[in-house]
Every structure is written in structure tokens, then in C-alpha cells.
Amino acid sequence: MTTTHREKDIGRFDQWSKTYEDSWMQRALFDKAHQAALALAAGIIHQPASVLDVGCGTGRLLRRARIYWPEAQLIGVDPANGMIETAKRLTPNATFFTGMAEALPLQDASVDLALSTISFHHWQNQQAGIREIARVLRPGGYFLLVDMSFPDWLVGVLHLKRVHSLTRLQALFNQAGLQVQTQQKAAWRGWLATVGKK
């Protein structure tokens, strides 16, 4: 049986889960993306009853979200079992599920705020993933995505299949029934925050 690209990707994250929290990338990259996403979200939605992190890794973003919204129900979804096991241990006040963005194990209209930081380029079917997030958002709920974004010409030159331009991200959100509220640079050059409202 041939191992798919997705299976290999998940396998790498399973292995990385043992040292993920101690990685230099946390402080240098991910923490900055988390800070930018949470600050932007806090300016948009004041008291969400529930916060979902898609591609939650070890739950680091959700632990920071608890500072902003101490009463919110925190939910994390990640395809790597190792990440989920570590997240459960480090973030006992949250609920975690092993799953894909394209098939979220949540009920319709059950989430006020969905976040995803620096995982979107790993999603196998990004359009299906955004549709799933729209499905689980309550009316008036928000999806805040932070990931790499480059101009169309650069995406074409580099043959990047899962990295999109600002306008392509707008189209993906709109096709899923989310109205783009804002798009702005986040933390690093080449990273874009896109906020959509259901």
C-alpha cells in the first residue's frame, strides 16, 4: 500500500509532537502568529461562547485564548494523534478531537469563533475545509485564518498549490458563504490574516 502525501505529513507531525513545545519555531514563528490572530480576533468579537482552533497542534493557541476569553469553551482539532495527546495533557480545560479540517467532528452552528494559524497550507482540500468551518460557525460567527500568502504571479512561478493570493483567499471564503471583513499582514511579511463572517 502506498503512503499518501497527507499520511506522510501527519506522520511527521506525530513524531514532532514529542518536541513541538520546545521547538525554536514556537518562539520565532508560531507565537507571533498566535499573538497577531488573538489580538485581531479580540478586536472583532468580545465574548465568544466557543473558540475552535483548526490545526491546533499541542493546544498552544488555545492556552493563550483562555487569557482573552476565560469563560469560552475551547475546542481543538488536529489530524495528528500525537499532537492531540500532548494538547490534552497540556490543556486539560479544552476539548480536543483528532480530525481533518475537511470533516470537523462538530455540530452545525456550534462555534462563535474559529481560528487557524499556519496550518492552512497543509490542508488537502482547502475549499472543503473552509466550507466545514462555515458549517460549524453560528450565524454572525467569525473565521480568522493566518497563513502564507503571496501575489498570484509568485504563486504561479513557485508552483505553490496550497498557498494563495489575497484575492484567491477572498474567493475561497466567499464560495463558502463567508463575507471577508478584513485582510491584513500578520506578524511576518508573507503572512496574511483573513477574517470572514458568516
**193 in Cβ contact with 146 (< 8 Å):** yes
Instruction: Specify the pLDDT at position 160.
Output: 54
Grid coordinates representing 191? 503572512
pLDDT at 65: 97
Distances (CA, A) of 113 to 27, 73, 75, 194: 24, 10, 10, 13
Considering just the CA atoms, what is the radius of gyration of the chain in Å? Answer: 16
- pLDDT tens string 125-183: 999 999 999 999 999 999 999 997 755 545 454 445 666 778 889 999 999 999 999 99
pLDDT, tens digit, for every residue of 167-178? Answer: 889 999 999 999
Prediction pTM value = 0.91
Name the residue ranges covered by the structural domains of the chain.
5-197
Q: Which secondary structure element, helix H or strand E, spans residue 61, and what is its range?
A: helix 60-68
**Cβ(58)–Cβ(17) under 8 Å?**
yes
Q: Which of these CATH numbers, 3.40.50.720, 3.40.50.150, 3.90.550.10, 3.30.910.20, describes 5-197?
A: 3.40.50.150
- 98 by Cβ neighbours in 10 Å (0-12 / 13-18 / 19+) ranks as middle
pLDDT of residue 15: 84
Q: Which runs of consecutive H residues, i.e. helices, occur in 17-54?
A: 24-25, 31-44
Q: Give me the residues of the chain with pLDDT under 70, please.
A: 1-3, 150-163, 187-188
